[in-house]
Chain A
Amino acid sequence: GGGGSSAAGLDPTPQTPVTVQAGFIPVIDVAALYLGDKQGFFTSRGIKLNVNTAQGGAALVPPVVSGQYQFAFSNIVSVLSARAQGLPLKVIASGSNSTAVAGKDVSMIRVPENSTIKSPADLAGKKVSVNTLNNLLQMLGDVAVSAAGGDPASVKFVELPFPDAVTALGNGNVDAMVTAEPFDTIASKGTRVIASPYLDMAKTSLTTSVYFTSEQQLQQNPKLFTALKAAIDESLTYANAHPDQVRAQLPSFMKIDPAVVGQVTLPTYAPGISKDSVDAFVKAAKRYNMVTADVSYDDLVWSGAAS
């Protein structure tokens, strides 16, 4: 019940608020928006945020395309691959960024403490778990193996949900795991890091997840999305400045162990998406066959101009 939110030409103001349906995945990255909403960054712009959650990004694309959700959260590779297939999606704002701190990033590759594997190059012929095949984490695995001088094609990636991957790593069902927070923290007991793959892609912080909508919705409601983008960006800035509040926000939308909350590595939140960051992903995604076609920065990212 989005209060006629899909109608064209909406101009949200605090006096005439508009309900915006958002599609999130319950992961740490979206904490920034929960926090921003709590701080009133959305309501002050006349936006009433209504969050829906789904298990994975693929299930969030259809409702955005059909206009049921105004925007949704996804990792950048999923959006790239949709865009490459010709789906008219546009990134409206950054979601979260890598930390660019070696050994303390949001995604890493872990092996059991006593494993003989020392470097990603040793992963040849080994089973490595990722949460989704042919997506971001597998690409990170490929990147890390290549960077270490190994052959990514020789690695056996297997798909396992994170909690099960942690167990599988423990009992030897898989040899290594590409992690993402909070499961990097959860998996840290008895394991060690052999790579921080984002740093293998670029030495700087990269935009790893984004908020996206459809081209059609952008055309119909430019004013709404301008306001929305402003609210998201303000939230990101605020979140980056208040990591403790971000941590405090986590239990409100995740079932997370309080002990883990204090330890997880938070991503960097920052408005704006650099062209270098996008290009790095496009290059890697193409190289490792995550996407089939080139995607240009301007195609992918909304200029933010209301006109």
Chain B
Amino acid sequence: MEVLEAPPSRRAGAAAPAPARRKRRPVAPVVGILIAAVLAELIPRSGLIAGDALPPLSSVLAELARDAGHAELWEAIGRTVRTWLIGLVLAVAAGVVVGFVIGLVPWLRAATASTVEFLRPIPSVALIPAVILIFGTGFQSGVTLIVYAGFWQVLVQVLYGVQDIDPVARETARSYRFSAWAVLRHVVWPTALPFVFTGIRLAASVALVLAITAELVIGTPGLGQLISVAQSSGATTEMFALVLVAGVLGVLVNVLFRLGERLTLRWHPSIRRAGGAR
């Protein structure tokens, strides 16, 4: 066996196919976005669905360009993102910690299962009045709703992830007398990580949805409140422009997490398979 410790020149040569691959990378997403954009332009124009209630993409974009000139939009985005981020971090932290604790202690899991299943399907929106009463109409209410909704997403994923540990890997750790912490950190965590990532990605969009919904319903300043105003004034194009912003935020969030995933899950079959299989 020979490890080709490539000298610099060689490494440059070896790297040659890589940029080609990297260059190819954005093609698929761009094609996907283009197709979607064309549809978003043509379907409303055709008037097949929904008459003129669905503005074509071009006018939505024009509206958005106009809005982008005002600080109002950027402030709103900033506020929404703040609520979203705080809520998401709290939800993920709570979900991961509780998930591991419950997932690793069988009797705790048995004891909490019924309660979890009871609380999970309760919609955050139904809790809005109670939340306003306790947390007020500020962004804290939005954060609370996000934590409530996002927590379950992460929790369930973590529970399934913890269950997915390879028995041989677990026995290996046990035979070498790994401490509980080491088992968690070196065996459970890496196994559950792909599940956790899916949980975070689910929670991230749920959190964004709730940040906006909370602003929409409660009236906390932010994107949602702008949408609410646009909606109740009948400014459909404006409303879709704002919805577009929300969607783009969602896409950016996903790009971020995909990147994180690629960095932390390099060993995972889904990431490593790139290596030359037919």
Contact = CB atoms under 8 A, between A and B. Distances in A.
The answer to whether A and B come from one shared complex is yes
Given A54-B217, A66-B136, A257-B234, A26 B50 contact: no
Interface string B109-131: 00000000000000000001110
Contacts of A256: 233-235
A7 to B, nearest CB: 16
B238 A255 contact: yes
B16 to A, nearest CB: 53
Describe B's contact surface by its main secondary structure: helix
Contact of A63 (B132, B216, B239): B132
B129 A255 contact: no
B128 A63 contact: no
Contacts of A63: 132, 136-137
Nearest to B216: A55
B125 to A, nearest CB: 11
Interface string B225-263: 100111111111011000000000000000000000000
Nearest to B242: A255
Contacts of A162: 232, 234
B3 interface: no
Given A54-B217, A62-B132, A167-B51, A25 B232 contact: yes
Interface string B197-237: 00000000000000000001111000001001111111110
A23 B137 CA distance: 10
Interface residues of A, number: 36
Contacts of A260: 234
A61 B129 CA distance: 8
Interface in B31-86: 50-53
A238 to B, nearest CB: 23
B272 to A, nearest CB: 48
B274 interface: no
Contacts of A66: 132-133, 136
B129 A59 contact: yes
Contacts of A166: 53, 234
7 smallest A-B Cβ distances: which pairs? A54-B219, A255-B235, A167-B53, A254-B233, A62-B132, A255-B233, A255-B230
Interface of A: 23, 25-27, 52-56, 58-63, 65-66, 68-69, 161-164, 166-167, 170-171, 182-183, 186, 253-257, 260
Interface of B: 50-53, 128-130, 132-133, 136-137, 216-219, 225, 228-236, 238-239
